[in-house]
Amino acid sequence: LSDYREVLAYGNSMGAYAALAHGKTLGATTTLAFSPQFSLDPALVPHDKRYQEFFRQDLNGGEAVRSLPGRSIIVYDPYQPLDREHVELIRKVGRIEEVHAPFMDHDTIRMVASSETAKVMFRAALDGDLRALRRLLKPLRRKVPIYYRSIAYRGLVIRKSPFWTSVGLRNGLQLFPQDEVLQGWSAKAN
């Protein structure tokens, strides 16, 4: 990799952890991390129980993001409390640049479904053009069911808001009429 002027490390979830944690060693000039974890070690992230079944003390004990590559861009949903806590821990390690993807939950990578989108996204990240990256990703949220599920869930369960429940369900079912999760929540809401 030392033959290249630009090296991009890229990943999602634990792949994003790997890109951040090992990017510097790999010579990454830029890291693009979607919904990264800080660590799987329950001693370091006791608030997050989602992936503890994959943790092995003998292999992963104490492992965490300890240093960051030159430019580290993190794409995450600031309303997803567990992901937000991981980003807060990563922020303590070094300078990061954030791109928020509200209502995408832990599925921020689902916005990037085509190689053409990925090509534009990678170029924006390598150029450090967060404005272009945000402009690219913002409309893509509305093209995946998880966005509408998240709005409906927050309205249905968290805020108990009939308005936001109906916004998520109505708009989601218009675009994704076969989505079983939205159909099920719609039946419960009515």
- Per-residue pLDDT band at 110 (split at 50, 70, 90): very high
The residue among 44 and 56 whose pLDDT is bigger is: 44
Among residues 58, 150, 149, 61, which one has the least CA distance to residue 103?
A: 150
Q: What is the 3-state secondary structure (H, E, C) of 47-82?
A: CCCCCHHHCCHHHHCCCCCCCCCCEEEEEECCCCHH
For range 159-166, the mean pLDDT: 80
- Per-residue pLDDT band at 73 (split at 50, 70, 90): very high
Q: Return the bridge partners of 73, or none.
A: 32, 97
Q: Has residue 64 got a pLDDT over 90?
A: no
* Overall pTM > 0.75: yes
For range 6-10, the mean pLDDT: 95
CA–CA separation, 179 vs 78, rounded Å?
25
Within 8 A by CB and 6+ apart from 20, the residues are 9, 31, 33, 36, 65, 68, 69, 72, 90
Count CA within 13 A, CB hemisphere, residue 105.
Answer: 13
